[in-house]
Amino acid sequence: MKKGVTFVIIGLFLGLLLTSTVNASEFGDLSNPLVQRFYAGDILYVGGSGPQNYSTIQEAVNNSYAGDTIFVYSRSSPYYENVIIKKNNIQLIGENKFTTIIDGNNMSYVIEIIADYATVKGFTIQHSGSIEYPEYDAGVYLIYPSDHNNITDNIVINNLNGICLQASKNNTISKNIVSNNVKGLLIFADSVFNIISRNNVENNDYGFYFGFTVYNTIIENNIANSSECGLYLYFVRLQTIRRNNFINNTRHVYFIERLRLAFDRNYWIRNYWDTWIGFGPKLLKGQMFTEWVGQKLVPWTNFDWTPAYKPYTFQR
* Burial class of 189 by CB neighbour count within 10 A (0 to 12, 13 to 18, 19+): middle
Rg (CA), the chain: 24
Q: What is the pLDDT of residue 262?
A: 56
**Residue 263, burial from CB neighbour count under 10 angstroms (0-12, 13-18, 19+):** exposed
- Note the pLDDT tens digit of each residue in 216-251: 999 999 999 999 999 999 999 899 999 999 999 999
pLDDT in tens, 52-75: 799 999 999 999 999 999 999 999
- The structural domains of the chain, with segments of one domain joined by +, span 32-179, 198-316
- State percent of the chain over pLDDT 70: 84
Give the distance, in angstroms, between the CA of residue 297 and the centroid of all CA atoms in the same chain. Answer: 32
At 167-194, the pLDDT tens digits run: 999 999 999 999 999 999 999 999 999 9
For domain 32-179, give the fold.
Pectate Lyase C-like (2.160.20)
> pLDDT exceeding 90 applies to what percent of the chain?
76
Question: What is the SS3 string spanning 37-79?
Answer: HHCCCCEEEECCCCCCEECCHHHHHHCCCCCCEEEECCCCCCE
pLDDT for 229: 98
